Chain A
Amino acid sequence: MTEQPRLAEQNAAVHLPEPFLKWFAEKGWSPRAHQVELLATVQAGQSVLLIAPTGAGKTLAGFLPSLTELAGRPRRKPGQARRGIHTLYISPLKALAVDIERNLGKPVEEIGLPVTIETRTGDTPAHKRQRQKLVPPDILLTTPEQLALLIAASDARRFFEDLRYVVLDELHSLVTSKRGHLLALGLARLRSFVPGLQTIGLSATVAEPDELRRWLVGQNPPEISTKPAMASLITVAGGAKPDISILDSEQHVPWSGHLARYAIPEIYEAIKRHRTTLLFVNTRSQAELLFQELWRANEDSLPIALHHGSLDVGQRRRVEKAMGENALRAIVATSTLDLGIDWGDVDLVVHVGAPKGASRLAQRIGRANHRMDEPSKAILIPANRFEVLECRAALDANYLGAQDTPPLIDGALDVLSQHVLGSACAAPFDADLLFQEVRSAAPYARLERSTFDRVVDFVATGGYALKSYERYARIRKTNDGMWRVSHPRIAQQYRLNVGTIVEMPELNVRYVRQGRGLAGRGGPVLGKIEEYFAETLRIGDSFLFAGKVLRFEGIRENECVVSNGAGANIIVPSYAGGKFPLSTYLADQVRGMLADSNRWRALPEQVADWLRLQKEKSVLPKRGDLLVETFPRGNRHYMVAYPFEGRLAHQTLGMLLTRRLERAGARPLGFVATDYSLAVWALDDMASLFKAGKPSLAALFDEDMLGDDLEAWLNDSWMLKRTFRTCAVIAGLIEKRFPGQEKSGRQVTVSADLIYDVLRSHEPDHILLQATRTDAAAGLLDVSRLAEMLSRVRGRIVHKHLEQISPLAVPIMLEIGKESVNGGANETLLMEAADLVEEAMGPGMSLV
C-alpha cells in the first residue's frame, strides 16, 4: 500500500501543482508517499481514511487536496457571487482547531496561496460568527457542536452549497462517543446538501479500520445493499520502535494502591537526566498527588508543572505555553494532553500506574519526540504488583503492534432526538426523507423505522402513552405532511442546549486570604471541583488541589471557598471521570502471563517470587479459567475471584453475586472490586454452601444473573439516575441552560431524579429509559464484557478452598475498608446519625 520513495516523487510531480513542488524543494523536503497517495485518491473522487502514527505529516496530508484545488481556482471576478465554505475541518478539541490554524497558515503563506482559513468554536465572538456567515472563509476549522449549530440554521443549505471536503482529525477519538453520533448525523446532512461531498479521515492506529471507513461515507439502506460502503484506506506503518522499559525498582513494589510513592526518587532522577519529561497518570487525583510528591523530592527546584482538566483554563494555557517554549523540565498530566497537539521537545514519557490499554499507551508514548523516524523513549512505573503484570502485557503489545480500541456502538437515541429537533429548526422536514438520511450515517445504519417514529413522537410531545401534551407540541405535522417547529422559542432553546457533553455539577474553587473565612473575597479561581466532593468536606478540612494544600472555608453560592492550608490528614478529591477500566486485550494478556511461568522471567524478581508463592500455596489459573478462592479470616468468610475484566464489570458482578448469596442465605456483608479481582465477604461459610450445591459455584456464576437480577438491581441504582440525567439533557427533556442564565447543577439533578422516579413507575418502556439502560449497560456497568466473561468461564471455574489468605488475594484484601459503604446503605448512615443524637441526649429526648 505504501509506495517506494522514487515512485512517490514521480507521482508527486503528477498530482502536485508547481508552487507546491517548489515549496517542498525550498524546504529541502519531498512529499511523503502517503501524502501523494491521499491526494491522488481524493482527486480520483473517493473519500479516504489515513491511518498514521504521530509525526507522519498527517495534517498536511489531510489538507493537500483542498489546498491544491484552491490554488488552481480562478480568481473571483467582481460582481460574481461570493463563494461559500470549500473545506470543513472538524476536531474534537477547540485547542486543536486553533493549533491547526497556526500550522496550516504557515505553508499557505509561504506558497502564496489565495486561501482564507478561520476557526469557529464556542469561544469565537458573535460578531466574527456573523461575518463568517456573510463572508465565509475557504477553510473553516471547527468542532462537532458548532457543526450541529450551523446545520440547524435556516440558511444551512445555502451556506454549505460550495462545500467539497470535510477533514476529520483524530477520528479514532471522535467516533467512540455520543459526540461522534452527533457528528455522523451532521455529516449525513451535509451529504444531502452536497451529494458529491468527500471526506478525509485522519486517525491513529485502530483495531478495526473498516469501522472508520464505513463511518466516513454514506451507507445504503439494507434493502438496497447489504455490503457496507467504505472509504479508501491508506496506512502508514509505525515509525521507529519505541524504547519502553518498566522500572525495575530497588524498592519494594507495594501490594496495592495507585500512587507509586516508592518510585519517586527514581522518577526524579529520570527527570534530571532528560530535557523535558512528560508524566502521565490515569486520574486527576493521582496527578495532584504525584505533583506534590515530586516537589517534595525537588531539591534542585526544577520547573515541574501540573496539567489536568479541572484546573483553571488560564493556568492550563500558561503551562502549555511554557511547554511550547521548552521552559519546563517535567509536566504531570492526565488525558487532557492525550490528543495530538504538538508541544515542545519532550524526550521522555513516564507513565505512572498501569496504562489500562495498549492503544492508549502507544498514543501517550507517541507524544515524546514527534519525529516519527526517531524512537520515543518511555518508562512505565507500575504502582502495585498486578500493575507490573499489566505494564509487562502492555509493553509486549506495543512491540507487537496489537491494538485494543473499543468497538463502535450503535447511535444513541438521545442524540438522534436532538438532531431531529435541530432538523426542524433548520427547515420543515419530511419524516421519510429524514429517516433515509439518518440511516445513511453508519452509527444509525441499523435503526428501525418504528424506533425513529418513536423518537419523532418524543421530540413532538414527549412520546408518552398518556397523550395529554398534544397542545404543547414542540414540532407539528402540518397538512402538507411536513414537520415544523411550533414556536420560534423552540429553536432558540435548541441552540442553547446543543451538544452531547453534560458536565457533572461542579463548583469553582475560589482562593481567599487565610483567616477571612467565607467573608474573604476577590481571590483567584483555581479551577473546578465536583460538587459531591465539596459536600463531604467540613470547614477546616485540608485537601489537595491545583498542586496546593488548601483549607476548606465553606460553600458560597456556586463557589467552594478555600484558603492556604497545612497539616496532616490531607484529603485528595476524587473525580467521577477519568478512570479507565483495563482493556479486554490486556486482561487476556495478563491471564496468559499468569498461566505461563516461562514469561515470568521478564518480570522483576520480587513479582515473579510472588507468583511462585501463589502456585505453591494455592493455584494459578490457566488462561481461560476463572479461579475462585475461599478462606476464613477473623470471624468472616471470604470469596475472591480473579476474572481480570476491569473494575466496572467487576462492580456489576459484585452487586449481582451479593444479591444471589443473600438469597442463598450466606449473609454477605459487602464486596470490593479492582481491575483484576473481586472479593465478597459474608457471615456464613460460602465454601460449604458451594460444596453442598446450595448453590454450586457454577450456578452462582451462571449467566442468567444478567436477567432479572440485573434488572432489579439496576432500577434502584444511582448509576442509572446519573445516566438518565445525561440522556434527558441531550434529548432536550431538561434544559442545559436557560437564555441568560446557567442553571445550577443541583437544580438539574433534583428534577432529573424526580422525573426518573415518576417515569420509571408509570412508563418503564419510555424511549428515554430505553436509551438510559442501553447507555448504562455499555458504559458504567460494562454488562457486555461481564456477559462475555460469564460465558467464557462456563465449566471452567476452579474453586480452591484455603485455610488462610493466598498471596494473590493480598492486594484486594488491602482494598477492603478503603471503599466507602455501598449504594443502599444511605438509611444506615441516617440511622447512625439519629442514634448519635439519641446517645448524646438520652432515649426519647429526640422527641422534643
Chain B
Amino acid sequence: MNFAARASTFAEADRVGIADERAVCDPRGVLYFPELRLLAVSDLHLEKGSSLARRGALIPPYDTGATLLRLQAVIADYQPAIVISLGDSFHDGGGAERMHSSFRERLEGLIAGRDWFWVAGNHDPDAPADLPGETVRELAVGSLVFRHEPSAVRVEGEVAGHLHPCARIVQRGRSVRRRCFAGDGGRMIMPAFGAYTGSLNVLDRAYAGLFRRETLMAYMLGTERIFAISHAMLRPG
C-alpha cells in the first residue's frame, strides 16, 4: 500500500484524540500526528537479544534487524519531520555500543534529515553511544508532553510508553490477546514496538489510576487495522 492510500485510510478510520491533538493509531504500533508531522514510537528495546545472550540465553540475534526494518517501513510511509523514540530504545546501556555496524548504519539513515529525539527510559537513562539525535528527559510539543513512564497524577495530553499495554477480549468462547494503544482521551500509553518485547494487560494493577475508566479504550492492533474496544469488553489476564 502506498503512502497516499494509507494516509487516506487512516484519516477516516483510526484517528483518536489526545487532549487537543488528533493522531493516527497505526496498526503497526506507532502514533502519527499529521498536523505536526510527528511520529512517536515506544520501547524499541534494541539489542535485547544480545543482552540476554550475555547471560547464556542464546536467542536469535535478529531482533534489532527486525525492529529496524519495521521502523524503516513506517518512516518511509509517513515521512515524518520529527521522530520521538519514547524511551527504552535500547534494552540496556551498552546496547548502542554492541549494535552491529550494518544496523547502526541503517538507524543513522533513518535519523538523517529529521529531528530525532531519544527520550530517556529506565533501561537506557543515558544518551545512546555515538548516535545522532537529541536525548531528553521529556518533550513538550503543542498541547502534548512525551515521557517514558506515565506520571502517577493525571496529566492531560501525556503520551507515554513503558508499560507495554495489551488487551484481551473473549468472543464466542475464544480468547484474543493483542498489543494495544490505551487511551482515555486525555492520556495515551503506547504499545511496545520491539520484536522481543512482551506485554502487560491494561487491566493489570500497574495501570491503576492512570485512566478515566468510563472513557478508556484499548486500540488493539490487527494485521491491517486497529480495533477500538471499550473498557467494558476487556478481560484481565
Residues of A within 8 A of B (CB): 461-462, 464, 466, 468-469, 472, 474, 487, 489-490, 493, 532, 534-536, 538, 554-555, 733-735, 747, 750-751, 754-755, 757-759, 761-763, 766, 820-821, 826-827, 829-834, 836-837, 840-841, 846-848
Contact = CB atoms under 8 A, between A and B. Distances in A.
Nearest to B99: A468
Contacts of A555: 236-237
Interface residues of B, number: 49
Main secondary structure of the interface of A (DSSP, over half): helix
B17 A847 contact: yes
B198 A750 contact: yes
A830 B227 contact: yes
B122 interface: no
User: Which A-B residue pairs are the 10 nearest by beta carbons?
Assistant: A462-B58, A762-B62, A846-B228, A829-B171, A834-B227, A830-B227, A472-B53, A848-B185, A535-B175, A759-B60
Contacts of B171: 829-830, 832-833
A837 B60 contact: no
B200 to A, nearest CB: 10
Contact of A536 (B50, B175, B233): B175
Given A469-B58, A837-B233, A536 B16 contact: no
Given A750-B198, A830-B178, A466 B229 contact: no
A81 to B, nearest CB: 38
B27 to A, nearest CB: 11
26 contacts: A464-B61, A466-B61, A472-B53, A472-B56, A474-B58, A490-B56, A534-B237, A536-B170, A536-B174, A734-B57, A734-B59, A751-B196, A754-B197, A755-B59, A757-B195, A758-B195, A763-B60, A763-B62, A821-B172, A826-B174, A830-B222, A833-B233, A834-B229, A836-B233, A837-B233, A847-B15
Given A462-B60, A751-B198, A821-B172, 18 more contacts: A468-B100, A469-B61, A472-B54, A490-B56, A534-B237, A555-B236, A754-B198, A762-B65, A762-B66, A829-B174, A837-B229, A841-B230, A847-B16, A847-B17, A847-B228, A848-B16, A848-B184, A848-B215
B53 A493 contact: no
B229 to A, nearest CB: 6
Contacts of B197: 754
B169 interface: yes
Contacts of A734: 57, 59
Interface of B: 15-17, 50, 53-54, 56-63, 65-66, 100, 168-176, 178, 183-185, 195-199, 215, 217, 220, 222-224, 227-230, 233, 235-237
Contacts of A837: 228-230, 233
A490 B54 CA distance: 12
A841 B228 CA distance: 12
Contacts of B57: 733-735
Contacts of B16: 847-848
Contacts of B175: 532, 535-536
Given A841-B230, A846-B228, A847-B228, A758 B196 contact: yes
A469 B100 CA distance: 11
A509 to B, nearest CB: 15
A729 to B, nearest CB: 12
Given A469-B53, A847-B16, A755 B60 contact: yes
Given A841-B230, A846-B228, A766 B60 contact: yes
A841 B15 CA distance: 17
A535 B168 contact: yes
B198 A834 contact: no
B185 to A, nearest CB: 4
A292 to B, nearest CB: 21
A462 B57 CA distance: 9
B60 A758 contact: yes
A462 B217 contact: no
A848 B217 contact: yes
B18 to A, nearest CB: 9
B61 A468 contact: yes
Nearest to B217: A848
A534 B175 CA distance: 10
A841 B229 CA distance: 11
A462 B53 contact: yes
Contacts of B54: 472
Given A489-B56, A763-B62, A827 B183 contact: no
A469 B57 CA distance: 10
Given A462-B61, A468-B61, A487-B56, A830 B174 contact: no
A325 to B, nearest CB: 42
A152 B229 CA distance: 52
Contacts of B223: 827
B56 to A, nearest CB: 6
